[in-house]
């Protein structure tokens, strides 16, 4: 089984216990942030910040209902999700909040969606964004923080370590204050 097939399988959630779902999300976040990039044409984008939404958790009231297969892109008013397999009872996805390519950061889910899903309908073949297995040279431990502007007890937002997130000026959802302390814990 390829790494992409393993990732797709992890996006088929069968667990319904919210406390167990939290550890599943952590494993998926670690895998995505360490082992996958988003390829768009010739550019490779590392995911910097991702956020999980699933209607069987406390996020039910803010999770868009959808009918998706595991691994599909799901565009919505607030950005783009990497979708979980859905059915009538369970649905959700992983919001791609921030990405980085060659030291240049794109911070925020709307800016990220705009960058990834801007193409020329008459040219630029291969510009549709797709996940690709590309492990980091040195593994990182994702940081779990609360969601920006959403009062939730669960830390379903994951990002790269602060020292790697070098470009964030003006990004109000940046998870650390000027002293390096987490803002939203």
Task: Show the domains of the chain with their CATH numbers.
Answer: 3-164 (3.10.300)
Residue % of the chain over a pLDDT of 70:
91
pLDDT score of 84: 95
Question: Can you tell me the distance from the alpha carbon of 137 to that of 113, in angstroms, rounded to the nearest whole number?
Answer: 26
pLDDT score of 51: 93
More confident residue, 184 or 103: 103
More confident residue, 62 or 89: 89
Q: Please, which contacts does 8-12 make with residues 24 or more away whose CB atoms are closer than 8 Å?
A: 8/70, 8/71, 9/70, 11/70, 11/71, 11/82, 11/83, 11/84, 11/85, 12/70, 12/84, 12/85
């Amino acid at each position: 089984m390829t790494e992409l097939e393993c990732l797709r399988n992890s996006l088929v959630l069968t667990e319904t216990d919210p406390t167990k779902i939290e550890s599943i999300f952590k494993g998926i976040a670690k895998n995505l942030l360490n082992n996958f990039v988003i390829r768009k044409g010739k550019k490779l984008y590392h995911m910097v910040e991702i956020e999980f939404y699933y209607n069987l958790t406390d996020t039910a009231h803010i999770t868009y209902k959808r009918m998706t297969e595991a691994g599909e892109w799901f565009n919505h008013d607030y950005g783009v999700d990497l979708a979980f397999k859905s059915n009538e009872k369970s649905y959700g996805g992983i919001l791609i909040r921030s990405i980085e390519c060659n030291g240049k950061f794109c911070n925020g889910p709307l800016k990220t969606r705009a960058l990834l899903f801007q193409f020329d309908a008459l040219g630029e073949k291969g510009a549709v964004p797709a996940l690709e297995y590309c492990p980091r040279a040195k593994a990182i431990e994702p940081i779990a923080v609360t969601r920006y502007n959403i009062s939730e007890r669960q830390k379903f937002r994951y990002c790269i370590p602060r020292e790697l997130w070098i470009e964030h000026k003006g990004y109000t959802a940046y998870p650390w204050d000027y002293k390096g302390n987490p803002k939203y814990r």
